[in-house]
Structures are given as C-alpha cells and as structure tokens.
Amino acid sequence: MHIAVCIKYIPDPEAAFSQFSIDEQAKKVVPAPGLRHVVSPFDEQAIEAALRVREQHAGARITVITLGNEASRNALKHGLAMGADDGVLLMDPAFDDGDGYTTTLALSAAIRKLATVDLVLTGRQAADGDAGIVGAGIGEELNLPVLTFAKAVVMEGAAASVVRVERVLDDGTEIVEADLPALVTVSNELGAPRAPSLRETMRAARKPMVVWKAADLELDVATLGAAGARTARERIFVPSKAVQCEFIEAATPEEQGARLAARLREAKVL
C-alpha cells in the first residue's frame, strides 16, 4: 500500500497578531522576520492518520508532498521524522503566487508521477488561509472518491481494498466507506499527532527527498502560479475600529440609569 500525504509549511498559527503586518499594495499578509514556520496542524494530523494505517498494515509506504520554497524542506523533514518514508518538494518559480486551484494542479501531477498511490491524505484545511478546497480539488482532479472531515481512518476488505472513515458532523458522526484509491481529508478530532522520536529524527536525514519542477511534472507554466490562478484578491486590510465613549452624568444613580436607558433606546439598542 502506498499513501501520499499532502502538507503545507505555514507561519505559526499560534503567533501573536502583532507579528504580522499587511501590505495593502501587494495585497499580502507579511509575517515578521524570523517568525517560526510549522507544518499546518491539520496536515500534521494527516501524517498521523497515515502512520496509524501503516501500524495496521505493515509494509505500507508513506510519501509526504509539499509545494513551496527551500524553507519548505523543513516540513518534509518533520514528516520524515514522524515516520514517513520519503518526501517530495515541488519547488519552481512557476508555482509562486498561485491559489488553491494551481496548488491542486501541481499536487495532483506529483501524485500521478508517484505512479500507484492507494490512499491520499490531506488536512481538512490549511491553518493559514482556512479555505479547505485543495484536498477535495485533488480528488476531483484525480477522479477519486473524497471522504472529508475524518476523525478515524481504517482499512477494510480483502487486501485492505476499502477505506472506512468516521466523519465529523455538526450533530455527531457518520461512518462512510470507499473503494481504493481514494482521498481523505483529516480533521483535528483525529487526536494529537505523535512527536518525532530521536530514532526517527536521526533516520530522517537518510531518507530520500526529491525536488520536482513544473517540467518534471509535465505541466504548462501558463496554468500554474500567478499565471494560472483563478481567484483574485481584491483587497486585504486591517479593519478600522472606531470607538466612541459617552459618559452619562446625573445627580443620582436612579436618574443616571434612566438617562442611560433613554440613550440606549435612542440608539435603538433597546
């Protein structure tokens, strides 16, 4: 069994708001220099789900894939230290400034290049943009059944040919199944991911990691990055907060309360 896990390297979502600024001209959020980056927490749980499947079925191979710059190697190293077998970094200027659609195209092409992949796992959404479209987009692009918001992922059937997922709903859970190959998006209800052990961290340095460019994936650069993006950001800004404070004065507390009630009615609050 071959499992591909798509992950993203993002600014630490636990960082204080003060460590980010807005470039309204470029329409971008700019993290402070030196801000720590991490694997998106939902994607880390997708790696954990893959490791749990491998514990059920010895011999399963886990490949972690990410799209990004040179720093994104750290995301793959973290996945390898958790226990994945190999990593793929999609790095090319053609991928820059893309959107969910162009990211979907690149990741889907990488999964095709891996040849036989039985199960694709992603986080339910990235913890920076929170769009939650890439996982389902990959399923659409690869013509795979998509099972979303999984809190548990197990293999069933002869030769583990069926994936069974417990899905999180607003009012409970449901059990759904699909024949492999399939794609599953993993939710935080899966539980905390394991911390990399010292043994696996040392082994991670010797595990294979390859870099693929657009040409390696046989993709037209006109469909990637900013050139192929299908969404356009109109504006990004910090909302202004105008605060007005009015003091109600009166000779007695009773009179002050009555004036306050009258003022609230005037403002149509009451």
Q: What is the CATH number of the domain that holds 64?
A: 3.40.50.620
- CA–CA separation, 65 vs 27, rounded Å? 27
Nearest to 94 by CA among 111, 112, 106: 106
Is the domain of 172 the same as that of 254? no
- CA–CA separation, 208 vs 100, rounded Å? 27
Q: Flag whether pLDDT at 112 surpasses 80.
A: yes
Classify residue 255 as left (phi > 0), alpha (psi -120 to 50) or beta: alpha
Is the domain of 177 the same as that of 270? no
Residue with tokens 């920076």: 128
Is the domain of 250 the same as that of 189? no
| 233 in a structural domain | no
**CA geometry: angle at 100 spanning 187 and 235, to 5°?**
110
Q: Which of 58-67, 114-123, 162-171, 241-250 is predicted with the least confidence, judged by mean pLDDT?
A: 241-250
* pLDDT at 59 (0 to 100): 85
- CA–CA separation, 24 vs 235, rounded Å? 7
Q: Flag whether pLDDT at 26 surpasses 70.
A: yes
pLDDT tens track for 34-75: 889 999 999 999 999 999 999 988 889 999 999 999 999 999
| Chain-centroid distance, C-alpha 137 | 13
Is the domain of 90 the same as that of 47? yes
Output the pTM of the full model: 0.84
> Highest-confidence range of 22-26, 209-213, 244-248, by mean pLDDT?
209-213
Is the domain of 153 the same as that of 116? yes
What residues make up the domain containing 51?
Answer: 2-228
* pLDDT at 34 (0 to 100): 84
Q: Which of 19-23, 164-168, 183-187 is predicted with the least confidence, judged by mean pLDDT?
A: 19-23
Is the domain of 265 the same as that of 140? no
Number of domains comprising the chain: 2
Is the domain of 140 the same as that of 58? yes
Res. 118 pLDDT band, cuts 50 70 90: very high
* pLDDT at 158 (0 to 100): 67
Is the domain of 209 the same as that of 246? no
Give me the mean pLDDT over the 255-263 stretch.
Answer: 92
